[in-house]
Every structure is written in structure tokens, then in C-alpha cells.
Amino acid sequence: MAFLPNSLEDWIKVSYVVFAFFSALFLGAIKGFIVGPIAALILIIGNVGVILGLFPAHVAWTVYTLLKIEIFDAALKVAILIALPALFGIWLGLGIAGSVLVGVGYGFFTPWVSTFEAFRYDNESKKFLHCIVDGTLGTIKGSCTVVRDFADICYHSYPSYLKELRESPCSDQCKTLRLIHVPGCVIVGIVGLIVEVPLFTAIAIVKSPYLLFKGWYRLLHDLISREGPFLETVCVPIAGLTIFVWPLVVIASILLAVVSSIFVGLYASIIVYQERSFHRGLAYIMAMVAEFDEYTNDWLYLREGSFFPKPQYRKKMVSQSSEFSTRGNNTSESRSNTTMEPPAMFMPNLAPSRSVRETIQEVKMVQIWGNMMRDCEIRGKELLDANVLTAADLYEWLRGKNVNEASIVGVGLPCYSLLQTLLFSIKANSSGVLLLDDFEITHFNRPKDKLLDWFFNPVMVLKEQIKGH
């Protein structure tokens, strides 16, 4: 008899969780239908207004910059000018379509998710209150914030980048375009669109059932075993919502594959220009299909590799880099070495070969991160001398970096250091970010590293916002 009350209590808890989940699901849907259209209209009208309102200025700024810079010869400038209408057309189409999709998705799903986030509160009355209130006014304010940030990027960041491009020092070697390469670039670009878009779409559609059922299987497995997103109790409602909306995630991944295939196909023209080879452009088209197939196989834990051919489309020669003065000295040597066998005592290098560009880029990255760490150390010592930071703060940070007190040093100090760096850059009238020892990072001289791009571009937007106020 002692087992029955415990079993009944467990059933009551399960019934309560199911009832609360579907109640939040229904309430979130109601809020989405009420608040969603308002937030979506604000975001769509705002972003589309920014795109269309600044479109003449974007065209004028781009054409003016193209005519002023000296890194392209006249033929290449004419070719880019001819291609600009198509590029601006793609920008308008994708910008407006993306604004509509983001507006609808943000306006409808944000109130839904906010309703489930209310379960993080311990008090039942707070849960009920926040289930009703969260995601209403906050969603509308969030849509206004998105429009404002997008306007800052279009009005401040893009012109700033073009200005730095115009003021950049002239390179020793001007990028040229011969008339004989123009038909090849155009043909390969069209072939890239014809091949990449259908094949990318077909691969995404064929593998979408694997993504759907494997995603459901993994989420249900984590739900039963309380692993992954279901490890914390407060995350269970949101993770349960993920199970319901997982088909929408699959559809979004298919659309993303279709859109990305357009740019991947058009990039074949750039490969033809860079490699000066029509065949390498075609090889790039086939290699990208194999890369996409292999990437999706790895992501879905299918068989390794791809049955599509993956030809080599780049020349593995350091002397092909046009950014350093070593090219002229190494050209004759590289030509002679390509036809000669290595000497008998030649010892192969087991480490992957690295170009001069990669080595210099790594040095730049080390300099940037080292400079930032040193600046953070100096700011920390200043705060310690001013008794803003105490020994207790350092002790809490060393003792447990996951507790709230540790964020004073672990998060607050880097943020304070970054703020002081931005203020110093603004006072110095720097076009980029001015670090210690007058080490300046701009759009032109920064290392082309994806991680740095994710950090640098938002920092530049933040700098423009601080400068505006």
C-alpha cells in the first residue's frame, strides 16, 4: 500500500508537467498571433525602409569607391561596374526576403519561447505571471532594437569600410583583368548556378528525412535519459518545444542550403579570375558539391566522404600569392623546381606546409590577442590600485569560475578593458580599434580570420554607436 501513493504522486507530477507544457504551448501561440504581427510589421517595414532608403546612397558610395581605389585596373573596374546591377539586385531581393522571414519568425516565435522561459522561476505565481507578460512588450522592443542595429550597420559600418578601402595605401601590384578571361568568368558563373543550386537542393532534400528523424530520436533520447538540453529542469519546457518545431528547423536548413548555393555557384567566376584557368573553375564547381555532401554526411553521422568527385582547383604554390614582394624572386625558382626531382637526401616534412600569408596571419593574430591580454592586465592593476577590485573578487574568481561572483573579474574586467579601448580609439579619431603601443586594427589590415570577424565587426558597430552618443 505504501507503493500506491508514491506511484499516484508520480502520475500527478507527470500529468501536471504535461498540462503545464500544453498550456504554455497554447498561451504562447495566442501571444504569438497577437504580438507577432505588430513586431513583424515593425521589423519588416523598418528593415525594408532602411534597405530602400539607403539604396541610392549605397550605390553612389560603392561606385565612388570603385572609381577611387587603385588596386584594380581599368578593365577590372569596368567588369565590376557591369556586374554591380546584378549584385545590387541580389542584395535587394535577399535583403527584403530575409527581412520578411526574420520578421515573421521573430514576431511569432519569440513570444512562444518567452512563455516557456518563464518556467525558470521557482515561485508558481511568478511562473504564471511571466507566462502571460513575457514576450509581449519585450518582443516589440526587441524588433525596434533589431531595426536600429541593422540601420547602424548600413549607415555607419558599410560607409566606414568603404572609406578605409579608399584611404588604404596603394599596393605594389595592381589586380588586372584580361579581356580573354571575361567570357570564361561569365560562363563558369552561369554553369555554377546551373549545377550548384539543383545539386545542393537535391542533397538537402534527400538528407532532410535523416535530419528530421535523427533529430527527433536524439531529442527524445535526451528527454528520457535527462541528458543534453534536458539535463536542467528549467530547460525541459524549451527543449520540449524544440521537439515540436524541429520540422521547421529542417525546412529552414533546406532554404539555407538553397540560398547559400547561389553564392557558392557565383564564386566559381572568382576562381577562374584568381587561377586564370577555365578548367579550375569547373573543378571548383564539382569540388564544392562534394564538400557539401561530405559536410552533411559528417553532420548526420552518415558514411564518411562523398561519392562525388573532388578535384583540386587551387595551385599549391607559395609564389602565387600576390600580396608579398617575394613573388618576383621565387617565380623562376618555383618554375625550375616543378620539373626537377628532389635530391636523394631530401627528408620530407611531415607537418603541413604553410604559405607566407598564413604565417604572417598567425603572427598578427598572436599580436592582437597578446595586446588585448596585456591591456586587460593593465586595466586590472589600475582597478586594484583604486580599490574597485578587491582581493575577495580575485579569490572568488580563482575559487569557482562558474559562480556569479566570479563574473566580476571573468566578464566585467574584459568588458571594462574593451570599453576603455573603444573610448581611447574614439578620442584618437581612429578609423578602427587602437590598442596599446599605437597598434591599430582596421577593416583593411585586420587578419582575414573568421573568429576575428565575429569579434571585430560587432565591436566596430558598438564603437559607432558610442561615438554617435
Q: Is the pLDDT of residue 412 over 90?
A: no
333 contacts 318 by C-beta, under 8 angstroms: no
Instruction: Pick the more confident residue, 240 or 428.
Output: 428
280 contacts 272 by C-beta, under 8 angstroms: yes
Most confident of 13-17, 119-123, 340-344, 410-414: 410-414
CA distances from 376 to 2, 381, 412, 413, 436 (A): 61, 9, 11, 7, 11
111 contacts 31 by C-beta, under 8 angstroms: yes
Q: Is the pLDDT of residue 376 over 80?
A: yes
Q: Is the pLDDT of residue 336 over 80?
A: no
Most confident of 1-15, 239-253, 316-330: 239-253
Q: Is the pLDDT of residue 394 over 80?
A: no
CA distances from 280 to 82, 285, 286, 433 (A): 24, 9, 10, 39
For 157, which DSSP code?
I
The model's confidence at residue 289, banded by pLDDT at 50, 70 and 90, is very high
Residue with cell 607566407: 356
pLDDT of res. 10: 67
Per-residue model confidence as pLDDT tens digits over 219-259: 888 777 766 666 665 566 777 778 888 898 899 899 999 98
Q: Virtual CA dihedral for 150, 155, 156, 160, nearest 10 degrees? A: 120
Backbone angles phi, psi at 169, to 5 degrees: -65, 145
Per-residue model confidence as pLDDT tens digits over 166-223: 887 665 555 666 666 778 888 888 999 999 999 999 999 999 999 999 888 888 887 7
Mean residue pLDDT of the chain comes to 78
Angstrom distance (rounded) from CA 70 to CA 77: 10
Per-residue model confidence as pLDDT tens digits over 355-368: 444 444 444 667 77
Tell me the percentage of the chain whose pLDDT exceeds 70.
Answer: 78
**Helices (runs of H) and strands (runs of E) counted in the chain:** 15, 2
Going 154 to 155 to 161 to 162, the CA torsion angle's sign is positive
pLDDT of res. 330: 42
Question: How does DSSP assign 406-426, residue by residue?
Answer: THIIIIIHHHHHHHHHHHHHH
Q: Is the pLDDT of residue 457 over 70?
A: yes
pLDDT of res. 285: 92
Average pLDDT value for residue range 140-154: 92
69 contacts 77 by C-beta, under 8 angstroms: no
241 contacts 195 by C-beta, under 8 angstroms: no
> Rounded to an integer, what is the distance from CA 293 to the centroid of its chain?
21
Closest of 14, 18, 245 to residue 112, by C-alpha: 245
Give the amino acid at 316: K
pLDDT of res. 60: 94
Instruction: Pick the more confident residue, 108 or 320.
Output: 108
Closest of 411, 362, 400, 408 to residue 384, by C-alpha: 408
